[in-house]
């Protein structure tokens, strides 16, 4: 791998490199072919004496072509690279006709690359993003494994809509052109695959709680689906979520865990993705690495929702304008969250104790009868990156909330049962993986941090 060659630089040994041509330049006598194999952002320069190779082969070594080059690794004579390969043999795997290959040397916009998402991993930018995405996944598993948490696989197909986190995608094998109907004209779901209506899950939390109430500390890390028609730079219809759930944790333990966890991930990126971050910083976001370090340095500010509203109302009095209204009871928008984080506190904020009406039924109810022990972690450039809470562990209080919200017993009886049999205080949260990646990469559109984004009217590749 090219990364290994750069790391170890085994000068004067024979090596073999396989990869894709990024650029090619040269003159009558010699060609310089920059090859990338995906292992690193850096290309290896292949130096080839034209006379030594078949003329037709040499014309085919254009951007996008795949090859194998064998030769001696030498210290580079030219500027811009430390080592290069002096080719003795070159084999072409596959040509890429320069008149047709959509990726030319450089300067494609992110919008254009989204349209050719099937090829964009071959660009420097998306190579870096894919590698960082991998590294963040490893960071997450390492963090929880080291803490003694177990990775639990929660189902993707669900028959309950208890969470209420968003519009769900239906899963069915019924023929939509010829739906089986009961005598009264309504669809007969007994004829559907599972014998009842099912959907793609919006969260693994409820099943995660079942596991936490047996294993102590668990986490999920899987795809989740929300059919909201929100075409924003922060929403996907299919995204990945990490959801730790911990028995015997209260809201304060939960906040500590969220802060330690996000900082661990950011530190991991700095430690393991330095070259890719440097590339993204140079090309997209001059303050990227400074911002990552900044988040590590400062304790997150912890405030209640009510305090947050007061700050926002004062800001409005002083002339700050927002698109959406601010009042006690309002669901905050990303503009409000970012004001608190970027302008007011100038560091990440953990906001707690939200009005119960804007949060899910399972959050622990405070004694004031108005608020619940929910918590959102708010980050610079993003707004909400984590949502979570201490859970209501009291059966009667939980049942009352379930009834107030008309959640059908058939959807939730098993969840309620956990509060009848050995209930304990417990807490958890969900981190949006792509929101974390937005922060770590400095990208500004969530479609650019997942290989194949699914958004309204877009499910290509």
Closer residue to ligand 4AD (CB): 132 or 236? 236
Residues 121-180 that bind ligand 4AD (CB under 6 A): 163, 165
Query: How many chain residues interact with ligand 4AD (CB under 6 A)?
Result: 21
Closer residue to ligand 4AD (CB): 129 or 386? 386
Residues 371-410 that bind ligand 4AD (CB under 6 A): 384-388
Closer residue to ligand 4AD (CB): 126 or 225? 225
DSSP reduced 3-state for 209: helix
Binding status of residue 203 toward ligand 4AD by CB under 6 A:
yes
Binding status of residue 432 toward Mg ion by CB under 5 A:
no
The interface partner of residue 386, options being ligand 4AD, Mg ion, none and the CB cut-off 5 to 8 Å by kind, is ligand 4AD
Q: At what angle do helices 409-417 and 395-404 cross, to 10 degrees?
A: 170
**Shortest distance (Å) from residue 165 CB to ligand 4AD:** 4
Binding status of residue 361 toward ligand 4AD by CB under 6 A:
no
- 165 close to 230: Cβ distance less than 8 angstroms: no
Between the CA atoms of 150, 422, 157 and 196, what dihedral angle is there, to the nearest 10 degrees? 170
Binding status of residue 205 toward ligand 4AD by CB under 6 A:
yes
- 67 close to 90: Cβ distance less than 8 angstroms: yes
Q: Which of 71, 127, 348, 430 binds ligand 4AD (CB under 6 A)?
A: 430
The interface partner of residue 291, options being Mg ion, ligand 4AD, none and the CB cut-off 5 to 8 Å by kind, is none
The interface partner of residue 139, options being ligand 4AD, Mg ion, none and the CB cut-off 5 to 8 Å by kind, is none
DSSP reduced 3-state for 450: coil
Residues 2-31 that bind ligand 4AD (CB under 6 A): none
Closer residue to Mg ion (CB): 222 or 387? 387
Report DSSP state, residue 408: -
Helical spans, DSSP H, in 80-147: 110-115, 124-147
**Shortest distance (Å) from residue 360 CB to ligand 4AD:** 7
Binding status of residue 387 toward Mg ion by CB under 5 A:
yes
Closer residue to ligand 4AD (CB): 122 or 364? 364
**In 184-304, which ranges are E strands?**
198-200, 217-225, 238-247, 301-304
The interface partner of residue 251, options being ligand 4AD, Mg ion, none and the CB cut-off 5 to 8 Å by kind, is none
**Shortest distance (Å) from residue 254 CB to ligand 4AD:** 9
The interface partner of residue 239, options being Mg ion, ligand 4AD, none and the CB cut-off 5 to 8 Å by kind, is ligand 4AD
Closer residue to ligand 4AD (CB): 191 or 252? 252
**Shortest distance (Å) from residue 85 CB to ligand 4AD:** 42
Tell me the C-alpha distance between 26 and 353, whole Å.
65
Buried b (16+ CB within 10 A) or exposed e, 341-376: bbebbebbbbbbbbbbeebbbbbbbbeeeebbbbbb
Q: What angle do CA 19, 23, 26 make, to 5 degrees?
A: 120
**Shortest distance (Å) from residue 117 CB to ligand 4AD:** 17
Closer residue to ligand 4AD (CB): 63 or 158? 158
Q: Which of 434, 442, 448, 455 binds ligand 4AD (CB under 6 A)?
A: 434
* Tokens of residue 204, six digits: 């693994």
Stretch binding Mg ion (CB under 5 A), from 31-39, 81-89, 231-239, 386-394 = 386-394
DSSP reduced 3-state for 354: strand
Tell me the C-alpha distance between 233 and 210, whole Å.
33
Q: Which of 218, 241, 257, 381 binds ligand 4AD (CB under 6 A)?
A: 241
Cα 250–chain centre separation? 26
Tell me the C-alpha distance between 214 and 245, whole Å.
11
Buried b (16+ CB within 10 A) or exposed e, 8-38: eeeeeeebebebbbbbbeeeeeebbbbbbbe
Closer residue to ligand 4AD (CB): 143 or 239? 239
Contacting residues for 339 by C-beta, under 8 A, at least 6 apart: 312, 315, 320, 322
Closer residue to ligand 4AD (CB): 241 or 341? 241
- 21 close to 62: Cβ distance less than 8 angstroms: yes
User: What residues are paired with 84 via a beta bridge?
Assistant: 45, 74
The interface partner of residue 165, options being Mg ion, ligand 4AD, none and the CB cut-off 5 to 8 Å by kind, is ligand 4AD
Give the binding site for Mg ion (CB under 5 A).
387
Give the binding site for ligand 4AD (CB under 6 A).
163, 165, 203, 205, 226, 235-236, 239, 241, 243, 384-388, 428-430, 432, 434-435
């Amino acid at each position: 791998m090219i990364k290994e060659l750069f790391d170890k630089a085994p000068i004067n040994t024979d090596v073999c490199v396989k990869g894709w041509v990024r650029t090619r330049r040269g003159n009558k006598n010699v060609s310089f072919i920059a090859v990338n194999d995906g292992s690193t952002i850096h290309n290896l320069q292949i130096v080839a004496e034209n006379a030594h190779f078949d003329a037709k082969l040499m014309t085919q070594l254009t951007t996008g072509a795949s090859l194998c080059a064998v030769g001696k690794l030498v210290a580079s004579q030219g500027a811009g690279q430390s080592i290069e390969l002096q080719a003795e043999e070159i084999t072409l795997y596959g040509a890429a006709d320069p008149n047709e290959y959509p990726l030319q040397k450089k300067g494609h916009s992110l919008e254009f690359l989204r349209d050719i998402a099937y090829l964009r991993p071959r660009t420097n930018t998306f190579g870096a993003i894919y590698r960082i995405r991998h590294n963040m996944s490893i960071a997450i598993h390492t963090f929880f494994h080291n803490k003694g948490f177990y990775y639990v696989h929660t189902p993707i197909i669900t028959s309950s809509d208890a969470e209420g986190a968003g519009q769900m995608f239906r899963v069915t094998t019924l023929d939509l052109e010829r739906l089986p109907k009961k005598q009264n004209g309504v669809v007969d779901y007994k004829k559907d695959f599972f014998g009842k209506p099912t959907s793609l899950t919006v969260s693994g939390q409820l099943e995660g709680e079942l596991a936490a109430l047996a294993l102590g500390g668990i986490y999920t890390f899987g795809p989740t689906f929300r059919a909201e028609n929100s075409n924003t730079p922060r929403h996907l219809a299919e995204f990945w979520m990490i959801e730790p759930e911990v028995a015997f944790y209260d809201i304060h333990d939960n906040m500590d865990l969220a802060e330690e966890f996000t900082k661990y991930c950011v530190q991991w990126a700095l430690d393991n993705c330095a070259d890719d971050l440097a590339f993204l910083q140079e090309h997209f976001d001059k303050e990227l690495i400074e911002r990552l370090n900044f988040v590590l340095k400062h304790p997150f500010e912890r405030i209640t929702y009510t305090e947050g509203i007061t700050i926002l109302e004062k800001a409005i009095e002083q002339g700050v304008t927002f698109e959406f209204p601010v009042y006690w009871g309002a669901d905050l928008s990303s503009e409000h969250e970012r004001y608190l984080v970027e302008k007011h506190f100038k560091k990440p904020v953990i906001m707690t104790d939200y009005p119960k009406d804007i949060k899910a039924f399972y959050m622990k109810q405070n004694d004031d009868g108005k608020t619940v022990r929910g918590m959102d972690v708010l980050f610079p450039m993003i707004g909400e990156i984590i949502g979570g809470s201490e859970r209501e562990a009291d059966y009667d209080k939980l049942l009352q909330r379930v009834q107030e919200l008309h959640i059908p017993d058939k959807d939730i009886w098993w969840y309620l049962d956990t509060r009848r049999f050995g209930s304990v205080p417990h807490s958890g949260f969900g981190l949006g993986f792509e929101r974390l990646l937005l922060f770590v990469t400095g990208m500004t559109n969530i479609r650019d941090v997942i290989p194949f984004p699914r958004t309204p009217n877009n499910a290509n590749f």
